[in-house]
């Protein structure tokens, strides 16, 4: 709550977490990762029911996907609520949301009384960290806490699916395949 940065394990990779309502913490995330300011940060949720805290105009498809793939390695991009900082979304009208399939991460998220922006705990453009040792090699001196839970099981960043446009669109391939998505929501635009 005070603006500290925490590295926590998830089901995919280690994440660098910050209070999404605190501008100073968000600016530290961008600085530490050397991340361009036009690259938005996703928000991790403890439970699928929390989706309404960060998004508006939520299509039925989002609820269907959440029921099937959350908790899990799917980030769903939706229209953001006015409570979500423009720093998180890089000024875009959308926000990426995900519920990790990792009990420790979800416990931390449940404990926080604020939205938590979480991005991979690595330098921008470098491979995502899946072990505490990889995090320590690049970020340890710059974060306030690292929660060590051994290697992450998934090892690859989440699939990102944009539902904010006229048609669903895969923004980043990941563990949830387009075929898996289409089995739930039908054809996806290329």
Residues of the domain holding 66: 6-185
Rg of the chain (C-alpha set): 15
Please determine, for residue 155, whether its predicted confidence score (pLDDT) is greater than 90. no
Taken as a whole, the chain contains a residue count of: 190
Q: Would 168 be classed as within a structural domain?
A: yes
pLDDT in tens, 100-151: 999 999 999 999 989 999 999 999 999 999 999 999 999 988 999 999 999 9
Q: Would 1 be classed as within a structural domain?
A: no
What is the per-residue pLDDT for 140? 81
Domain count, the chain: 1
Please determine, for residue 1, whether its predicted confidence score (pLDDT) is greater than 60. no
pLDDT in tens, 33-85: 999 989 999 999 999 999 999 999 999 999 999 999 999 999 999 999 999 99
What's phi and psi for 64, nearest 5 deg?
Answer: -65, -45
SS3 percent helix, strand, coil of the chain, rounded to 5, is 30, 20, 50
Q: What is the dihedral of CA 164, 49, 17, 168, to 10 degrees?
A: -20
pTM across the whole model:
0.94
Pairing, β 116-120 against β 55-56: unpaired
The CATH code of the domain that includes 153 is 3.90.870.10
Please determine, for residue 157, whether its predicted confidence score (pLDDT) is greater than 70. yes
């Amino acid at each position: 709550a005070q603006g500290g940065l925490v590295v926590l394990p998830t089901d995919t990779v280690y994440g660098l977490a910050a209070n999404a309502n605190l501008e100073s913490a968000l600016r530290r995330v961008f600085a530490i990762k050397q991340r361009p300011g036009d690259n938005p940060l996703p928000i991790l949720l403890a439970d699928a029911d929390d989706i309404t805290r960060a998004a508006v105009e939520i299509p039925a498809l989002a609820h269907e996907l959440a029921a099937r793939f959350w908790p899990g390695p799917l980030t769903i991009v939706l229209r953001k609520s006015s409570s979500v900082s423009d720093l998180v979304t890089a000024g875009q009208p959308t926000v990426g949301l995900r519920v990790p399939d990792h009990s420790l991460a979800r416990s931390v998220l449940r404990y926080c009384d604020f939205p938590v922006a979480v991005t991979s705990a690595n330098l921008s453009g470098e491979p995502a960290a899946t072990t505490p040792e990889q995090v320590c090699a690049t970020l340890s001196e710059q974060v306030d806490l690292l929660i060590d839970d051994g290697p992450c099981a998934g090892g690859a960043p989440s699939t990102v699916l944009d539902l904010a446009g006229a048609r669903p669109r895969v923004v980043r391939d990941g563990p949830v395949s387009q075929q898996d998505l289409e089995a739930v929501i039908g054809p996806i635009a290329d």
